[in-house]
Structure 1
């Protein structure tokens, strides 16, 4: 489906950083593991169960990739089973906010199986890039976008100079390149559930729960603990400043685009690669309005398109904000996504 603007209708513990690592969304909201029918603290999907049994590719290599400020980011490079052509694209998978790269292992393995090297990485303070307690951390959400993502892009371009970079962004991982000064390095991008996180564009009743958490429970927890406890949403702990910045963006109708302290917003105008937005029909955060609002800011893209994915299209009962990466979608949504990403 070609790009069309949105028109409103009526009516587990994190992994620790490996030896030698240095270092110390926005999101399709950080209510990342909560579904519309689930109360706070009860994950919509059991993340541990989702990760259990995820195949570990034989050729996977653990790396430390430097962010733009030198902070070491834990990463995994999956090589295809056979020798990939020298000019075959390198796929980079960028996670949703505060989600470990392990979550995407199965999808990464699938793409590697189609003959392409695939890189996954953890943002600073998350998973293998976390170096200790988050209490007192100064990590902001923007740091993931303007330091970590540019560093990964620069490393990928230097390590694989003959390979075009094809980017897969989940939630925050899809709009983060818009804030990256070197986003011209991306040759093609697939965004899954990437949205403008203003709470008012979420589906009811979920938006009321998210608003209550953001306005009251979340800030109180940060004040008491020094970070946002992942148990409140069933996911990873989040640095306090990152949570509070995300909260401010999500309280504003224009989301991060209204943040005058974020000059990197101007880099959206430099993003020219073809980009496809996957809007999941039953995602309570990534509604058509929320995804459309974000997509509308990729104005320089030479080819914007939106793919509305319903559970029935993938042969499953539900998908939600995270379900796209379940292996049950291998023969349906994964195949269609890979056909577009790797033409």
Structure 2
């Protein structure tokens, strides 16, 4: 197995916000390139084991932090006014350009976790990504989640979230929230969307303009896990519906199918899930 070279890089988002990323290279010649888009509040380092695995399978991999998260926090910039959609419109599109520049003629694929699959229609260059593997991706609408998770979500939205905004002017990693600190504007948008059956769809003709969700036509395969209380079969199906021109497939898997006891909403990227990673990588490679 060839040695992996790990290189931290900096690059600018489409509107100039400084972003941090990590490139995973193999000394062996790569056959394709993969962009890894994170879930809300997850720093890029969370995906390092998965990125290393993909590199061992012949990929050139880019992980990156959205603005306000991890290495892209940048205290001198306007953290308070980061909007949820900025992550897609500016940050994800910039990551595509960086990966394309580094990858040269290699075909580009995308692996997305949670919100990483929500904003393809806001990226003016999304057509450069030839396949999308979604892991644990559904809408944030609480009514589509497992009923046992609803009290926890209401506490997050209106208890912890409201208190943290009042006390800290941001949603801090306190009181059960284990992600990175979230900007106040972003959190309020996420909360508003998550209380609507249509999630962000009512904003497609308003606040989310310009958008081109109907132009996303690369194949999307979405993995939903039976013990994930957030990305359920219902919420996963609702999210795929915002990509009407894409060839979409939703598959529901049990953790036991991969020889583990738990996957949940974030466990797909933890070590020990290599059987799942094999399946994801095989699907990506077969279409490239």
Q: TM-score range by the shorter chain?
A: over 0.9
Q: Which runs of 5+ in 1 are unaligned?
A: 1-56
CA shift, 1:250, in A, is 0.6
Match of 2:197 in 1: 253
CA shift, 1:136, in A, is 6.0
1:136-215 matches, cutoff 5 A: 137-215=80-158
**Residue in structure 1 matching 2:52, options 87, 102, 109:** 109
- Structure 2 residue 240 is matched with structure 1 residue 322: no
Q: Give CA deviations for 1:181-211 in whole Å, capped at 9, x if unaligned.
A: 2211111110001111101111012112202
- Structure 2 residue 60 is matched with structure 1 residue 80: no
**Residue in structure 2 matching 1:234, options 172, 178, 191:** 178
Paired residue total? 281
Equivalent-residue separation in structure 2 for 1:136 and 1:147 (angstroms): 15
Match of 1:65 in 2: 11
Equivalent-residue separation in structure 2 for 1:135 and 1:72 (angstroms): 12
Equivalent-residue separation in structure 2 for 1:299 and 1:217 (angstroms): 36
CA shift, 1:270, in A, is 1.1
Match of 1:48 in 2: none
Contact 1:64 1:74 in 2 (8 A): yes
Equivalent-residue separation in structure 1 for 2:256 and 2:216 (angstroms): 33
Q: Which runs of 5+ in 2 are unaligned?
A: none
Equivalent-residue separation in structure 2 for 1:230 and 1:135 (angstroms): 20
Equivalent-residue separation in structure 1 for 2:122 and 2:253 (angstroms): 26
Contact 1:134 1:226 in 2 (8 A): no
**SS of the residue 1:298 aligns to:** coil
Contact 1:61 1:77 in 2 (8 A): yes
**Residue in structure 1 matching 2:217, options 269, 272, 285:** 272
User: TM-score when scaled to structure 2?
Assistant: 0.93
Larger RCO (CA within 8 A; separation ≥ 6): 1
Equivalent-residue separation in structure 2 for 1:136 and 1:315 (angstroms): 41
Contact 2:81 2:183 in 1 (8 A): yes
**Higher mean C-alpha deviation, range 240-249 or range 124-133:** 124-133
Contact 1:81 1:112 in 2 (8 A): no
CA shift, 1:134, in A, is 8.9
**SS of the residue 1:319 aligns to:** coil
Contact 2:40 2:179 in 1 (8 A): no
Equivalent-residue separation in structure 2 for 1:162 and 1:58 (angstroms): 20
**Higher mean C-alpha deviation, range 219-228 or range 141-150:** 219-228
User: TM-score when scaled to structure 1?
Assistant: 0.78
CA shift, 1:255, in A, is 0.5
- Name the Cα RMSD after superposition: 1.7
Contact 1:59 1:78 in 2 (8 A): yes
**Residue in structure 2 matching 1:295, options 235, 240, 257:** 240
Closer/same/farther in 2, CA of residues 70 and 82 from structure 1, 3 Å limit: same
Closer/same/farther in 2, CA of residues 306 and 317 from structure 1, 3 Å limit: same
Match of 2:69 in 1: 126
Q: Give CA deviations for 1:94-113 in whole Å, capped at 9, x if unaligned.
A: 00012100000000000000
Which structure shows the higher strand fraction? Answer: 2
Equivalent-residue separation in structure 2 for 1:337 and 1:68 (angstroms): 29
**SS of the residue 1:172 aligns to:** helix
**SS of the residue 1:117 aligns to:** strand
Contact 2:18 2:74 in 1 (8 A): no
CA shift, 1:139, in A, is 0.9
**SS of the residue 1:167 aligns to:** strand
